[in-house]
Amino acid sequence: MNYQTILTLLENNIFIITINRPDKLNALNKTVIEELGAAINEVYNNPEIKSAIITGAGEKSFVAGADISEFLTLDATAGEALARRGQELVFDKIEKSPKPIIAAVNGFALGGGCELALACHFIIASEQAKFGQPEVNLGLIPGYGGTQRLTQLVGKNRAMQYIMTGEIFSANDALQLGMVNKVVVQTELLNEAKKILAIINTKAPLAIAKVIETINNFDHTHQGYDYEIKKFGECFSTEDAKEGASAFLEKRKANFKGK
């Protein structure tokens, strides 16, 4: 398929999906979300594809979050719809994919970018990777599953700290936290991801699908995701969310009023 904002390549049964808006640090606008959704459908439906890698174009960024320039006009209903569409089309679809989808994080994985990596079955990172959930800087909360998946992976107290401070942390910190499986030099990132998937691709596909489904069902209820979507939407009825997005786009510090 032809895409505008992502690149795809099928190599040795591994489908490599590269988010390709490097001038905007690969931020997830509506087109990227739609196209990622279509690419994930290809993973589900193309029998030539045994597994997939998601990565970002350029040296600097995996994905620097949802596209903040699309936030200015959102109200609570539209904010909730944005989060729900992304979760259904991309994030939940990745998590539930019967074929392994792993993230190769090559730079900034912030906000929706961190959530995209967290939705994958596991994460390989380069030494240049940087993770974080900085939504609070915009008067928002994560909306693509961050409150749920980060908490599952690193535990409640650490998720509280990182989501409330918006702190950006390194690949090695993420390794220590148990968020990423391996950290490698940038030039080896894709090779390392391919090497691991080449091993998995030799295993029985139906067994792999059941591994994914069963591990996903470990102590897992999906109610929290719905709660997050609603609360994310509610943020857009606040003045602070407008201030946060405007301040980012005007390259100034936000002045939050608690309204």
Measuring CA to CA, which residue among 52, 57, 192, 27 is closest to residue 126?
Answer: 192
Q: Which one, 51 or 137, has the nearer CB to ligand COA?
A: 137
* 3-class state of residue 96 by DSSP: coil
Catalytic residue among 35, 80, 135, 192: 135
Cα dist from 33 to 64, 156, 220, whole Å? 14, 28, 25
CA distance 58 to 163: 26
Measuring CA to CA, which residue among 112, 131, 7, 3 is closest to residue 57?
Answer: 7
Amino acid type, 167: E
Q: Respond yes or no: is residue 192 known to be catalytic.
A: no
Q: Which one, 69 or 172, has the nearer CB to ligand COA?
A: 69
What minimum distance in Å lies between the beta carbon of 96 and ligand COA?
23
What minimum distance in Å lies between the beta carbon of 60 and ligand COA?
7
What minimum distance in Å lies between the beta carbon of 58 and ligand COA?
11
Instruction: Give the list of residues 6+ apart from residue 187 with CB closer than 8 angstroms, or none.
Output: none
Q: Which one, 100 or 134, has the nearer CB to ligand COA?
A: 134
Q: Which one, 100 or 244, has the nearer CB to ligand COA?
A: 244
What minimum distance in Å lies between the beta carbon of 99 and ligand COA?
28
Within 10 angstroms of residue 16's Cβ, the number of other Cβ atoms is 18
CA distance 57 to 52: 16
Q: Which one, 108 or 131, has the nearer CB to ligand COA?
A: 108
Sites of contact with ligand COA (CB under 6 A): 24-25, 27, 64-69, 108, 110-112, 134-135, 137-138
Measuring CA to CA, which residue among 56, 60, 16, 14 is closest to residue 32?
Answer: 56
Yes or no: say if 240 and 256 are a contact pair by the CB < 8 Å rule.
yes
Catalytic residue among 115, 127, 167, 234: 115
CA distance 149 to 119: 7
Q: Respond yes or no: is residue 127 known to be catalytic.
A: no
CA distance 207 to 98: 10
What minimum distance in Å lies between the beta carbon of 12 and ligand COA?
33
Q: Which one, 68 or 189, has the nearer CB to ligand COA?
A: 68
What minimum distance in Å lies between the beta carbon of 229 and ligand COA?
14
Catalytic residues: 115, 135
